[in-house]
Amino acid sequence: MNEPEHELNKLTKKLFAEGYTREKYPDYVNPYNWFYGGFTYTAKHLHSMVFSTPCGLLLTGSYFTNGHTSYAGVEWMAENDNPTVTCPYFSKKEPCQLRHELLCGCELLSRLGKIVSCACHQVNEPYDYEHSFYKILDDVEKESGELFKAFNAQKHGHACRLQSYYDRHSKQWHMAYDPRMCATYGCSYCDVLQTELSPKKGNVYYDEIATCTEKGYGFFPDKVITAAIKGKKLLKHQVSITICEAIVKYAKWRIIKEKTGSYEHKLKFRNDPAFAIQYTNFRAEIRETRDLAQDLADIGEGIEIVHASDQQKAAKAKKHERRVAAREANKSKLKKRIFEVGFSGLDEIELNRFRKWFSSEEEDEISEEIEKRKALEKGFITGEQTKLF
């Protein structure tokens, strides 16, 4: 198989110039791989190397063990002596004159500020933390921690570090509180609410009321119907009821905005002029409760009512029926196979399935049936021989 054409990296060119081949190479490189342009440094050797940014910050090669950058037709990697790092000087707004000209257009915008990259090169000097890339990052982290204390004081202690982000250019903290995220954190105390989370767990339930056009058939015209699915769960698992109450109070508008702004919602709205949907009756409950009086009132207004829990139970029951039917079909096939070849003719997989699917009583019944068939077969053969002689 011919390898795709790929430019060799500088390390490979250097080793070939020194007389090494694809089969014979030094122990500090990995075997030849055309995808990476030839040889690559081993992780152990890369850890021992020291690199420098254009502005003189030192860092170890361990920073580059998780891949490399491909940009502007160049492979920015340690083997080409040009691996990239993100610039740690986030407060500088003017363009850096030391950056490689090809990387000037490589910029990413994030809520942390503009992220730019610069190319490093290997240096033959010992690593010094006080003049390192990591020292600058640690200083930024330390500074952001001090500024968060001031930010939290402005919020009178109601700032959540997990739901806040730091703009490294403006050196300012911002918080976007969304209690839905709290469902994934596993906290025991909420800084925003300034309260201990209740050990009681529940979920957020809501109702979905949709109006759409039901297509008619033949002489039957189209009909606009309204149906409500009540008691839908917002969260995939139960969380503290305190978080559920916070979601209902502070995140309901976000939920409605996200659902009505989704592509699926817009597609339905575009294809059906009568389509409309409402998300209402958000509530935090330990277990779902039903308002029978409201259900009867909605039915009286022509709204079709179904509860999400009933749908889930019905779907679960159908799934169980399908599994039982499939299991019985597989048991019938295996039983037929046993009658054909006997227990001794089954392979290991079939024997394991038999032990798993059949009870001891069923095994006895099958054994008796096999003995009966053998007796009938023997009697049939004996009878034929009597007639012949």
Q: Which phi and psi angles does 240 have, rounded to 5°?
A: -55, 135
Q: Hey, is 72 helix, strand or coil? A: coil
- Per the CB < 8 A criterion, the answer to whether 64 and 46 are in contact is yes
- Per the CB < 8 A criterion, the answer to whether 232 and 164 are in contact is no
Residue 319 parent element (H or E): helix 308-341
- Per the CB < 8 A criterion, the answer to whether 215 and 222 are in contact is yes
Please count the residues of the chain.
389
- What local confidence, expressed as pLDDT, does residue 383 receive? 60
CB atoms closer than 10 angstroms to residue 2: 4
Tens-digit pLDDT profile for the chain (389 aa)? Answer: 556 667 899 999 999 999 999 999 999 999 999 999 999 999 999 999 999 999 999 999 999 998 888 888 899 999 999 999 988 886 556 667 888 888 887 777 766 667 788 999 999 999 999 999 999 999 999 999 999 999 999 999 999 999 998 888 788 999 989 999 999 998 899 999 999 999 999 999 999 998 888 887 877 888 888 999 999 999 999 999 999 999 999 999 999 998 888 777 777 777 788 888 899 999 999 999 998 898 899 899 888 999 999 999 999 999 999 999 999 999 999 999 998 888 888 899 999 999 999 998 988 888 888 888 888 877 766 665 444 33
Domain ranges of the chain: 10-138, 202-314, 325-388
CB atoms closer than 10 angstroms to residue 114: 14
Residue 230 parent element (H or E): strand 223-233
- Per the CB < 8 A criterion, the answer to whether 284 and 245 are in contact is yes
Q: Which phi and psi angles does 183 have, rounded to 5°?
A: -65, -15
DSSP percent split of the chain into helix, strand, coil, nearest 5: 45, 20, 35
Select from 208, 209, 204 the least CA-distant residue to 283. 204
Helices 308-341 and 348-357: crossing angle, nearest 10°? Answer: 130
- Per the CB < 8 A criterion, the answer to whether 222 and 183 are in contact is no
Select from 346, 327, 345, 338 the least CA-distant residue to 368. 338
Secondary structure (DSSP) of 279-297: EEEEEEESS----HHHHHH
Helices 252-260 and 241-250: crossing angle, nearest 10°? Answer: 60
- What local confidence, expressed as pLDDT, does residue 389 receive? 36
CB atoms closer than 10 angstroms to residue 9: 21
